[in-house]
A and B are shown apart, each in its own frame.
Chain A
Amino acid sequence: MKDRNHLANIGLVHQVNVIENGLIDIPMLQVLQPDGTLHPQAELPTITQQLGLKVLQTMQYVRLLDERMVAAQRQGRISFYLACTGEEASTVASAAALEPQDMIMSQYREQGALAYRGFTSKEFMDQMFSNQNELNKGRQMPIHYGSKPLNFMTISSPLGTQIPQASGYAYGQKMAGLEAVTICYFGEGAASEGDFHAGLNMAAVLSCPVIFFCRNNGYAISTPSEEQFKGDGIASRGLGYGVRTIRVDGNDVLAVYAATQTARELALAHQCPVLIEAMTYRLAAHSTSDDPTSYRSKDEEGSWQLKDPVTRFKTWMQSKGWLDEKHNLAFIEQTRQDILKELKLAEQVPVCPIEQIIEDVYDTPPWHLKAQLAELKTHIDMYPEAYPKTSGRS
């Protein structure tokens, strides 16, 4: 054991010293200007036309998916939906900077990252209709996706719980000697949860290769960020925990891509956490249960429409001569048709048979669950009309 002195690096003062403004300037990385032109001083990340097209198409895809599913909820076909409109660049471009072996632990507005990984329209629809084809067996509300093959951890509703879990997951990756990191998405509201502080501190102290990706979209449902925290956003907290920190324009694909690429390199090289605060705006309502007109103005939304991340990146792709307009319109039309086709198919598929209600509680069902299932099945047989989804199927 070596002697330690935790005062060693602290200077002295001899009058009461109150730090009234401990903030330091944390600038925001921006590569593309809101009009889609390259910032004169910006350093362009290495990006190919193929990658650019994949990012653009994924962003367009989730926008179409969001439009379709908000409408499906309004029609009463699904119970709930949560759009990511306005935040597509944050999730899609960050996922693009990762490798397939990297684990994604998300909050609930990261369908862009999942779509980028290759989640299909069928898989999206099976989840939202909680049918028997769904990878998670239809046990959770719409938008709680999860895919083991795509290294996308199943989402849970409680906010911030995935943050310390991501630290632990990354620690396991490090101990197993894997060339992989974990990315953990969350909002600026969730960063008020205790789990945020626990997770960042543990990752820093235990040297976990994890990227904490905060989407600071200005609102936690209706609560604006100035009623959420007093300090300088979420980035300032990273510094407090001794975590390397980057603030980035979340509506700028190239900036998010560059920041996440750097974060991944740092996390692997130093086996350390990195915090990214992506400054963005939730153009959508919080969810289909929310009405933003009661807490923000049309003018405010309009000013952010001008910073639309999809338009911004598309303009840049066009300026590079990398976008074939005709081809892109055909992609959009085809995607729209595919989504609708899969929606119609998925809503016809039945839910899992009743036997599955007791599966996966434990590795094998213990006696009391078997007894409860047997009793339930007898009851369903007595009143089949009352339980139309499961009666008469086994």
Chain B
Amino acid sequence: MATMNMLQAVNNALITAMNDDEKVMVFGEDVGHFGGVFRATSNLQQTFGKGRCFNTPLTEQGIIGFATGLASQGSVPVAEIQFADYIFPAFDQIVNETAKFRYRSGGQFSCGTLTIRTPYGGGIAGGLYHSQSPEAFFAHVPGLKVVIPRNPYQAKGLLLASIRDDNPVLFMEPKRLYRASVGEVPEEDYQLPLGKADIVKEGTDITLLAWGAQVEIIEKAAAMAQEQGISCEVIDLQSILPWDIETVCSSVEKTGRLLINHEAPLTAGFASEIAASVQEKCFLHLESPICRVCGLDTPYPLAHEKEYMPDHLKTFEAIKRTVNF
């Protein structure tokens, strides 16, 4: 075990993958010699050469188009989009090309080896264009997997699993935790399963569900609720698509209540999909309406960032409302 922050864990996962398979190639804007604007790709070019870790021109649609073609050739690309806010020029490539590559060719061709890494989320004074959480857009696209880690241990294990998974994976990294989240990470190779949620803390009165940086927010709210005698079960969804309905529904059947927290705006966020599915499966177990604590339906504001965020206090109040419904 070694103590790492999330960036070091991502970097360590990339080194592990590149050592393990010479077909793994890492590229994007500034990821080469510089090592990426957050330093997630530090020393990769120096270690593995310019052929396997390189800068690309500043073109997100080009990066994903290139990566999709490269994957279909048999390489294992790990493409970086510098900020999730800038992924939209590549939306057509991801939605119409990457995600449909296997289906449209009847399985003859595939770009399943592709992994797209991108930092997402707020809390860093990034304003409108360095703070967004666009996971719901991609959760609407058959053929993609969407994965989000909450800490360094999950980041390494889930990233290695994403790189080796034979489906295109959008791996979204909570940049607020890049340096803030520190933990023990095995130095050896390991993977965590995709499509599986993780029960972070067991409880009996209400299920709290989040992913990425919001997991620590609901944990904090759960600790506050505990002091008031409310026992919360805390679940990290980890995979947004496909998502682990079984773990979530088992928990809700036990607690009878569900609160979902995400940073992205409320309307048509992924919490809506979860709420719809859970009420269908667990209708007779529910003691109260499923509750969503999310970002506002505004662009991500700079000056009002703190007010915008679905923080532990908003979550704590929502827990009390739901339990006392």
Using a CB–CB distance below 8 Å, which chain A residues touch chain B? 1, 103, 105, 134-140, 144, 146-148, 153-154, 156, 158, 161-173, 175-176, 182, 194-195, 197-199, 201-202, 205-206, 359-363, 366-368
Contact = CB atoms under 8 A, between A and B. Distances in A.
B127 interface: no
Contacts of A137: 106-107
A147 B71 CA distance: 17
7 contacts: A137-B106, A161-B92, A171-B66, A173-B73, A197-B59, A198-B59, A367-B246
B65 interface: yes
B93 A161 contact: yes
Contacts of B108: 135-136, 146-148, 154
A122 to B, nearest CB: 16
B12 interface: no
Given A139-B103, A169-B73, A367 B245 contact: yes
A153 B33 CA distance: 34
Contacts of A1: 33
Interface in B55-99: 56-57, 59, 61-62, 64-75, 77, 89, 92-93, 96-97
B109 interface: yes
B69 A167 contact: yes
Contacts of B321: none
Which 9 pairs from chain A and chain B are nearest by CB? A164-B65, A198-B62, A168-B69, A172-B73, A165-B69, A137-B106, A168-B70, A154-B105, A168-B66
Contacts of B246: 367
Given A173-B73, A202-B57, A366-B195, A154 B104 contact: yes
Nearest to A153: B109
Interface of B: 25, 33, 51-52, 54, 56-57, 59, 61-62, 64-75, 77, 89, 92-93, 96-97, 100, 102-110, 112, 142-143, 145, 166-167, 195, 242, 245-246
A366 B194 CA distance: 11
Given A164-B66, A168-B67, A202-B56, A146 B105 contact: yes
Given A156-B96, A164-B65, A165-B65, A139 B109 contact: no
Contact of A359 (B51, B56, B57, B107): B107
A372 to B, nearest CB: 10
A159 to B, nearest CB: 10
Given A147-B108, A156-B104, A164-B62, 6 more contacts: A153-B105, A172-B74, A175-B51, A195-B65, A198-B65, A360-B106
A144 B74 contact: no
Contact of A158 (B67, B70, B92, B110): B92
Contacts, number: 159
A153 B65 contact: no
Given A153-B72, A368-B242, A198 B167 contact: no
A46 to B, nearest CB: 30
A136 B245 contact: no
Nearest to B100: A156
A194 B25 CA distance: 24
A156 B242 contact: no
B72 A169 contact: yes
Which of B71, B103, B167, B242 has the most chain A CB atoms closer than 10 A to its own CB? Answer: B103
Contact of A161 (B73, B97, B109, B110): B97
Contacts of B25: 175
Contacts of A103: 73
A202 B108 CA distance: 26
A158 B57 contact: no
A136 B62 contact: no
A116 B71 CA distance: 26
A201 B62 contact: yes
A361 B142 contact: yes
Contact of A154 (B66, B109, B167): B109
Contacts of B70: 168-169, 171-172
A368 B243 CA distance: 9
A387 B195 CA distance: 33
Contacts of A194: 59, 61, 89
Nearest to A155: B104
A148 B71 CA distance: 15
A290 to B, nearest CB: 23
A201 B57 contact: yes
Contact of A163 (B54, B65, B107, B167): B65
Contacts of A199: 62, 65-66
Nearest to A140: B104
Which of A138, A198, A206 has the most chain B CB atoms closer than 10 A to its own CB? Answer: A198
Contact of A134 (B57, B71, B106, B166): B106
B57 A205 contact: yes
Nearest to B245: A367
